[in-house]
Amino acid sequence: MIIPDHEIKRYLEEGRIKIEPLNEGQIKSACVDLSLGSEFRTFGHTKEPCIDSKKPKEYTETIIMDNNKFILHPGEFVLGITRERVSLPSDIVAYVDGKSSLGRIGITAHITSGWIDPGFEGKLVLEIANLGKMPVILYSGMKICKIMFFGMTSPSQTPYNKRKDSKYSGQMNIEQSRIHEDIQ
């Protein structure tokens, strides 16, 4: 079941769910709007013939927004990060999804991996792409996605922040993919 606004507010007051910074206007009827931070990771051109998911290598470079704006060109894919830090207890999971208003101008704010495990703590890294035909300016602080919360029937036995294989627990900046850690 999706957790509604009045329960989200109660969980925030109790400290069970933490979203910092947060203002009351971000809380909607069944989700919380999250805003775009100022850090991006962009994919540059390389002499490599492909990305080898088995080998850790730097394929991106960090960009910090100039004048709080970033121009996303058609066909471009970047990693962005939320301004807010999110913390979940061991009995609540969450899902991140893009904003319809951005989708209507060709911007997907989260393509895959929208699932947020119980026990996750940190800022959320977003996969952002421009599927439209015109460049779009993204601004630091703009609403970029929404997060929905779901109650579990019982707490997770091993929440994300307690797992030995949790790759992104506590992230405050955009980290490279660690898919190579999953390949045997």
**DSSP string computed for 123-144:** EEEEEEEE-SSS-EEEETTSEE
pLDDT band at 90, cuts 50/70/90?
Answer: very high
Stretch among 16-20, 41-45, 77-81, 158-162 having the lowest mean pLDDT: 158-162
Chain Cα centroid distance, residue 113: 9
Q: In whole numbers, what is the pLDDT of the chain averaged over residues?
A: 89
- State the pLDDT at residue 175: 75
Write the single-letter amino acid at 115. W
Any idea what DSSP says for residue 16? S
Alpha-carbon distance 125 to 47, whole Å? Answer: 26
Looking at the chain, the whole-number percentage of residues with pLDDT higher than 90 is 66
CATH superfamily membership of 5-43+60-155: Deoxyuridine triphosphatase (dUTPase) (2.70.40.10)
Alpha-carbon distance 115 to 144, whole Å? Answer: 16
Beta strands in the chain (DSSP E): 18-20, 32-43, 60-64, 69-72, 77-87, 92-98, 107-108, 115-116, 121-130, 136-139, 143-151
Domain boundaries, the chain: 5-43+60-155
The answer to whether 91 and 149 are in contact (CB under 8 A) is no
Alpha-carbon distance 24 to 27, whole Å? Answer: 6
pLDDT band at 60, cuts 50/70/90?
Answer: confident
Alpha-carbon distance 113 to 95, whole Å? Answer: 9
List the catalytic residues: 127
Q: What is the pTM of this model?
A: 0.88
Mean pLDDT, rounded, for 137-149: 96
Q: Which of 124-153 are b and which e, b meaning 16 or more Cβ less than 10 Å from the residue's Cβ?
A: bbbbbbbebeeebebebebbbbbbbbeeee
pLDDT band at 182, cuts 50/70/90?
Answer: low
